[in-house]
Amino acid sequence: MLSIVPAFGRIGEENAFAVLARANQLASEGRDIINLGIGQPDMPTPGPIVEAGIKALRDGHHGYTPATGILPLREAVARDIHRRHGVEVSPDSVLIVPGGKVTMFMAILMFGEPGAEILYPDPGFPIYRSMIEFTGATPVPVPIREENGFAFSAADTLSLISDKTRLLIVNSPANPTGGVTPKHEIDALVAGLARYPDIAVLSDEIYGTMTYDGEAHHSLLTYPEIRDRLIYLDGASKTYAMTGWRLGWSVWPKPLYEAARKLAVNAHSCVNAATQWAGIAALDGSQDCVAEMVAEFDRRRALVVEGLNGLPNVSCITPKGAFYAFPNVVKTGWKAKKLTSALLEEAGVAVIGGPDFGVNGEGYLRLSYANSAENIARALERMRTFLAERL
Ligand code: PLP
């Protein structure tokens, strides 16, 4: 019998994909399913970006590129960071990767080993914990609390640091809560980290362009005091509706960059060349497409929050970022996973249970509003009927 290494017994996955598979199966059986489970923009990639990808293929960009990514794209990333965060980064510190997940994977592989502790947000993107466990390191969840607007708490985070802590993962705006961490919390976190110069920080800013109500996104790149240990994670998946193209980028401190480059050489060689040229068009082109998409998400956010707060025994704080709402369903009396399953099977609405994002997710659901206003309204009506019948 074949036996693979035990690490694979510890690796997890994203339940969003399992929900999607079940939703698709039900739909193929003729059921009318509304999917509020999926974490990707429902808009197509903007036309000029698609055209740039096609042109790159026609122009013969078919081969390997440097593992770090093509220089014009790394330069475009540096310009984007300067435009959005007012910070200078060298293109030589930028690594082009096949999606934001790969930066996460690399950073966790660099610091995760048995005996090491890695702090990560809970509820949070499930791959953080999965990857930490894969390396044999100990995952230390940082509680992300509703009463805190689902922002990171510097005090909570700092209190969990031990002499074994090697890496801290921060995510704002956040999946699954839509929480945005305000500047004063980031200031306090960075100030507290001064006492722990050996702890690296991975800042997942993949939703950095998506904030609402005048809430600003504060990049950790703007703190020079931690630049020598900060790994910045961003990419095109969410901002430019490019999830399937697989394009991410990261900025690394000099001592880590070479290790990341070698991992890229070993794992994937490079991101496909046409995607990289499309990425240049995305970053250097008009950003109106981003503003339009965010404005559309903002309209839907209002619909979702109002609708959720109108459901019996459900409450939902207004998320300030990303495209997720994280309603509290404790008072319905349902366990989140059971409710998720019943909503899909009986009401034809796909959402994700909070526990899929960590132990602190019990009592919550995650709804993605990357779906049309009409579908959102229909889904909420179905949820209202379902809950009213089962009170
Ligand atoms: N980080 C967070 C918080 C996410 O929600 C996601 C995707 O859902 C990613 C990273 C990964 O993005 P990508 O598709 O670029 O790998």
| CB 74 less than 6 A from any atom of ligand 1 | no
Q: Give the β-pairing of 165-171 and 117-122.
A: parallel
Mutate to test the pocket of ligand 1, among 13, 102, 125 (most ligand atoms within 8 A of CB): 125
What is the pLDDT tens value at each position of the chain, 391 positions in all? 899 999 999 998 888 788 889 999 999 999 999 999 988 999 999 999 999 999 999 999 999 999 999 999 999 999 999 999 999 999 999 999 999 999 999 999 999 999 999 999 999 999 999 999 999 999 999 999 999 999 999 999 999 999 999 999 999 999 999 999 999 999 999 999 999 999 999 999 999 999 999 999 999 999 999 999 999 999 999 999 999 999 999 999 999 999 999 999 999 999 999 999 999 999 999 999 999 999 999 999 999 999 999 999 999 999 999 999 999 999 999 999 999 999 999 999 999 999 999 999 999 999 999 999 999 999 999 999 999 998 7
Residue 19 C-alpha to ligand 1 middle, in angstroms?
A: 17
Residue 33 C-alpha to ligand 1 middle, in angstroms?
A: 24
Q: ipTM greater than 0.95, yes or no? A: yes
Ligand 1 atom closest to the CA of 235, numbered from 1: 15
| CB 45 less than 6 A from any atom of ligand 1 | no
Mutate to test the pocket of ligand 1, among 101, 104, 245, 352 (most ligand atoms within 8 A of CB): 101
Question: Quick check: pTM over 0.90?
Answer: yes
Q: Please give the domain boundaries of the chain with CATH numbers for all domains.
A: 7-44+288-389 (3.90.1150.10), 63-284 (3.40.640.10)
| CB 170 less than 6 A from any atom of ligand 1 | no
Residue 312 C-alpha to ligand 1 middle, in angstroms?
A: 32
| CB 247 less than 6 A from any atom of ligand 1 | no
Residue 100 C-alpha to ligand 1 middle, in angstroms?
A: 5
Ligand 1 atom closest to the CA of 101, numbered from 1: 16
